C-alpha cells in the first residue's frame, strides 16, 4: 500500500468565501502526526546564492524557533521537563540518519502558489520559502528574485511549521472575517497556528493555547507518550552549597602610644651667694 505524505502549509494570501457563518466557531484540530520521543531537528545549510550573513541569520532564526517551542513546553511542565526535550543542529546536506525532521530553505513554491512553507510527513520535513511574493497585474502571484522575506517572517514560518510537526493543525474560525482580522490586526493572534502570516509577522508567537494543545496530544508523558522508551528520571536540582562564613579577622591591638618623655625641668640657677668682703691686710 502506498503511503501518502501529509502536507500542511501556511498561506500568505487569504482565499475568501461567499459563505458567512451565522455563529462563528473556532476550530483547533490535531493531525495524526505524533513524535515518538524527543526529536532532532536538522537545519540544512542554504546552498543557493545567498550571502553568508543571511545564511547564518536564517539558520540561527530556525534554531531559535525550535528552542522557543522547547522552552514554552518546559515552562508549562511542573514535574519532569525532560519529557519535552527538543534538539536542533545544522547539517550541510539532507538525508542525515541522525535527523528526525529536516528543515530546508527554498526560493519559491510552484507556479501560481503563494504558500510560505509546508510540513510533510512521513518522513518529517519542513520547507521554508524565502522569496517574498507579490501580485503581478493585481492578480497573478509572482516573485522577485531580489526580494527576500524579512527575518521576522522566516522565524514566524518556522514556528508555525514546527507546530505542525508536533501534531497541530490550523487554528481557524468558520467566520472568514475573523480569520482576516487575525491576519491584519496590530495585535498578536491567539495562536501561532492561524493559517496566514500576520501582516506584522513579528506578532506571531507561541501562545498558551498552542502549548496546552500539545500537552493535550502527548499527555503527562510528553514526547515519550508514543515512544515505548523509559522516561528519564528528572535530574534533581542541586542544593546550593553555602559559602563558608569567614572567621572575623581580629582587629589588631594598637600598640600603646608611648607617653612623651618630658623634657627635664631645669633646676633654677641659684644666684651666687655673695662672698663676704674680706678686707685686705
Write the pLDDT tens digit of every residue in 102-148: 999 999 998 767 899 999 999 999 999 999 988 888 778 888 888 99
Q: Domain spans of the chain?
A: 6-224
CA–CA gap between residue 234 and residue 231 (Å, rounded)? 9
**Angle formed by the axes of helices 52-75 and 208-218, nearest 10°:** 70
110 or 7, which is more confident? 110
Fold adopted by 6-224: Collagenase (Catalytic Domain) (3.40.390)
CA–CA gap between residue 47 and residue 262 (Å, rounded)? 96
Q: What is the pTM of this model?
A: 0.77
C-alpha cell at 121: 510527513
Q: How many CB atoms lie within 10 A of CB 121?
A: 20
DSSP state letter for 170:
-
Mean residue pLDDT of the chain comes to 85
Amino acid at each position: 500500500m502506498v503511503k501518502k505524505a501529509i502536507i500542511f502549509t501556511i498561506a500568505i494570501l487569504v482565499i475568501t468565501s461567499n459563505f458567512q457563518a451565522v455563529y462563528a466557531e473556532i476550530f483547533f484540530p490535531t493531525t495524526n502526526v505524533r513524535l515518538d520521543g524527543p526529536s532532532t531537528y536538522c537545519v540544512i545549510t542554504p546552498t543557493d546564492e545567498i550571502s553568508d550573513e543571511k545564511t547564518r541569520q536564517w539558520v540561527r532564526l530556525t534554531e531559535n524557533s525550535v528552542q522557543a517551542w522547547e522552552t514554552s513546553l518546559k515552562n508549562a511542565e511542573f514535574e519532569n521537563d525532560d519529557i519535552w526535550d527538543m534538539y536542533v543542529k545544522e547539517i550541510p546536506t539532507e538525508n542525515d540518519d541522525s535527523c528526525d525532521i529536516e528543515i530546508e530553505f527554498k526560493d519559491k513554491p510552484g507556479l501560481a502558489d503563494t504558500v510560505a512553507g509546508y510540513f510533510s510527513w512521513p518522513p518529517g520535513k519542513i520547507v521554508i520559502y524565502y522569496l517574498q511574493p507579490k501580485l503581478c497585474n493585481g492578480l497573478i502571484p509572482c516573485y522577485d528574485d531580489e526580494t527576500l522575506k524579512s527575518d521576522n517572517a522566516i522565524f514566524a514560518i518556522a514556528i508555525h511549521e514546527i507546530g505542525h510537526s508536533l501534531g497541530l493543525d490550523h487554528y481557524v474560525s468558520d467566520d472568514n472575517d475573523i480569520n482576516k482580522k487575525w491576519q491584519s490586526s496590530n495585535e498578536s493572534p491567539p495562536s501561532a497556528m492561524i493559517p496566514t502570516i500576520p501582516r506584522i509577522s513579528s506578532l506571531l508567537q507561541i501562545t498558551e493555547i498552542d502549548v496546552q494543545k500539545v500537552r493535550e496530544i502527548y499527555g503527562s508523558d510528553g514526547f515519550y507518550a508514543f515512544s515505548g522508551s523509559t522516561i528519564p528520571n528528572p535530574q534533581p536540582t542541586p542544593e546550593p552549597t553555602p559559602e563558608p562564613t569567614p572567621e572575623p579577622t581580629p582587629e589588631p591591638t594598637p600598640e600603646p602610644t608611648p607617653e612623651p618623655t618630658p623634657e627635664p625641668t631645669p633646676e633654677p640657677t641659684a644666684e651666687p651667694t655673695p662672698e663676704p668682703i674680706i678686707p685686705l691686710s
